[in-house]
Amino acid sequence: MKLNVITAVLLVTGTLYGQTKQPVNLKDPIQYYLQKQVVKDHLETQRFAEAAALLSDLLDVDTTDGSLWDQRARSRMHLGEYENAISDYKKAIDLGYFRVGSGTARIARAHILNGNEELGLQWLRKTIEEGYRFRSAILRDTAFASVIDLPEFKTILELPYREYTSREDGWLADLDQLERELKRLHYYYRDHALPPSFSNIYQDLRGSISELNDSEIASEIQRALATLQDGHTVSYPFGMTRGQSPHIPVATYIFSDGVFVISAPKKQKNLIGTKVLSIGGVKVDKLLTNLQQYVSAENESEFRWVAPMYMMFGEFLSGAGAKIETAAVAFTVLGADGASSTVNVPLSNKAVNPAIIPVRLPAYSAKGIKPSPYLERNNDNFWLVSDPGLRLTYTQLNSIGNSKKESLKDFALRLRQILNSSQSENLVIDLRYNNGGDGRLLPELIRTAVWFETAMEGKIFVLMGRNTFSAAQTLLNRLENFTNATFVGEPSGSKPNRFGNETQFKLNYSGLLGSISSGYNQAASSRDLRIWIPPQVPVALSSQDYFTAVDPVMQVVIRIIEAGSNSGLSSEK
């Protein structure tokens, strides 16, 4: 038996439940608490009968803890006591213990394992209707093996279950499926009507399917989703099994001084570093304005992040007014010599490899220019380096997630040790290229930041920008709430309070992929209506900075540190 410290103490003192030298009084709060720890040991060592017995006695004392009902239900499931497990799961649901659909999914599973497929499917339907996110988990669960081929099961899970009579029939079925998913999953639209702006586009699209090709229909679907102004509710311009939007392998970025080409294939390599004046005969500023109708974004900062990705796809460019030839699109650019030229960039109709789409600004490398580390390593989940001269520790977090070699929690603990041993007085947390992850992994990192500022009396600088999105926004909010960190860079790409917890969807006929927000992240006060968190020290990135591998944001931080004080720059609430 694996023992934790509490269990070991109980053994020594002779008060371990079931192995006692004297009766255990569960009405004694201390003994009650200690025996709850024993339950965890029983579950870890799969001693389910002992766990169920102890849980029954604990529930005789107090019925208010939903986790105990869940633990007894899980124990009873392993023991094959399905009816009793169902009763326990219902108690946990009544106490609000489970996330949306999780409790009813467990009840559906128990009914089917108990041989009652009809009740199991009824509860499964209830699970999906409640907005349960994890359909794939149900499909992988062998408990549902006996019903997986039933038409009703396929209907409940929105699996392909019928032949389409025509292309129009298939697309209409997809439009209906997506609308059902929005109303089933979206945190807000589960209880509210979809806005007229969405419904009008959708209604027009239903009558225009025969006039549009598949990729044009997909772009219209995205135009409808963009009206929701939710960065997590979006369709992807790649991965469809029917139709393919023509795309160009040229990536751009919106710098403080304009739109510039940052990557291109070998035959158009001379475009890199040029300023884009127009695409398809439309001036780039006008093109960006017209593209707004297609972009799912919460604010202007997020738009500046994702709009260049949309500019890589022919249907969005065409919808924004650009003239798209059969095989190419014209780029008019301004070179370093001040001369303008027009280059026809070939369009590709091959399946898009998402890897060509630069979610983060790539490092620029050229002869005589050493790439900036903050860009060169922005695909690593996290890393750090200390500068003894500046008494500074710099850490870049590019994902709120664990790496293959280290969890985010362990990284935060290692950061704490380094801050302590290095005698750093300044901590830089770089979130400029962090577009999210799992916010549940943040507590240890937040504790490290608070410890550094309070126990070590250190100064914290947070670098932020348009890519600071989703779970990274949550971290930004926490640092704003719990520390006096100085924020430097651009406004964040998310609202402090926002929709999130996206759930993936795949439409049955077209294979169109995307995501829908199924939750709401209130990381700030409910009265916080800001569209972003602005930097206290605004610093923009110019094209010259980028192409000469200069980091102006970090330069400003170093100047503040060297000045010996950030007085007047602290985040006063």
Tens-digit pLDDT string for the chain (573 aa)? 444 554 554 544 445 555 544 578 888 999 999 999 999 999 999 999 999 999 999 999 999 999 999 999 999 999 999 999 999 999 999 999 998 899 999 999 999 999 999 999 999 999 999 999 888 899 999 999 999 999 999 999 988 777 899 999 999 999 999 999 999 999 999 999 999 999 999 999 999 999 999 999 999 999 999 999 999 999 999 889 988 888 998 999 999 999 999 999 888 899 999 999 999 999 999 999 999 999 999 999 999 999 999 999 999 999 999 998 878 999 999 998 999 999 999 988 888 888 888 899 999 988 888 888 899 999 999 999 999 989 999 999 999 999 999 999 999 999 999 999 988 999 999 999 999 999 999 999 999 999 999 999 999 999 999 999 999 999 999 999 999 999 999 999 999 999 999 999 999 999 999 999 999 988 767 788 999 999 999 999 999 999 999 999 999 999 999 987 444 444 333
162: left (phi over 0), alpha (psi -120 to 50) or beta: beta
Which residues, at least 6 apart from 13, have a Cβ–Cβ distance to it below 8 Å?
none
Give me the pLDDT at residue 2, please.
47
Distance CA 173, CA 269 (A): 43
> What length does the chain have?
573
CB-CB contact of 434 with 462 (8 Å): no
DSSP H stretches of helix in 186-343: 196-206, 214-226, 284-291, 300-310, 314-319
Distance CA 146, CA 112 (A): 8
Which residues, at least 6 apart from 385, have a Cβ–Cβ distance to it below 8 Å?
373, 393, 394
Six token digits for residue 105: 């999914």
Q: How many CB atoms lie within 10 A of CB 5?
A: 8
Give me the pLDDT at residue 24, please.
82
Which residues, at least 6 apart from 125, have a Cβ–Cβ distance to it below 8 Å?
156
Alpha-carbon distances, residue 283 vs 313, 317, 484 (angstroms): 17, 12, 43
Indicate the domain borders of the chain: 5-156, 373-494+532-562
Can you tell me which residue has the tokens 């006695």?
A: 57
Q: Which of 108, 113, 101, 106 is nearest to 72 (CA)?
A: 106
Which residues, at least 6 apart from 406, have a Cβ–Cβ distance to it below 8 Å?
414
Which residues, at least 6 apart from 455, have a Cβ–Cβ distance to it below 8 Å?
none
Distance CA 504, CA 562 (A): 47
Within 13 A of 292's CA, how many CA atoms are on the CB side?
Answer: 11
Helix (H) or strand (E) holding 500: strand 497-506
DSSP H stretches of helix in 29-81: 29-44, 48-61, 66-78
Residues 64, 67, 71, 73: is their CA dihedral positive or negative? Answer: positive
CB-CB contact of 440 with 474 (8 Å): no
CB-CB contact of 465 with 492 (8 Å): yes
Starting at the edge strand found earlier in the chain, the sheet holding 234-235 runs: 234-235, 513-522, 497-506
Distance CA 434, CA 204 (A): 37
Give me the pLDDT at residue 524, please.
67
How many angstroms from the chain centroid is the CA of residue 414? 25
Can you tell me which residue has the tokens 């094959």?
A: 80
Tell me the residue type at 314.
Answer: G
Give me the pLDDT at residue 571, please.
39
Give me the pLDDT at residue 22, please.
59
Q: Produce one character per residue of 428-441: b if its CB has 16 or more CB atoms within 10 Å, e if not.
A: bbbbbbbbbbebeb
Q: Hey, what CATH class is 5-156 in? A: mainly alpha
pTM of the model: 0.87
Beta-bridge partner residues of 426? 392, 459
Distance CA 252, CA 272 (A): 9
Q: How many CB atoms lie within 10 A of CB 477?
A: 23
Question: Quick one: 373-494+532-562 is in which CATH superfamily?
Answer: 2-enoyl-CoA Hydratase; Chain A, domain 1 (3.90.226.10)
Distance CA 421, CA 423 (A): 6
How many angstroms from the chain centroid is the CA of residue 541? 25
**Cα-flanking dihedrals φ and ψ of residue 382, to 5°?**
-165, 150
Task: Say if 5-156 and 373-494+532-562 have the same CATH topology.
Answer: no
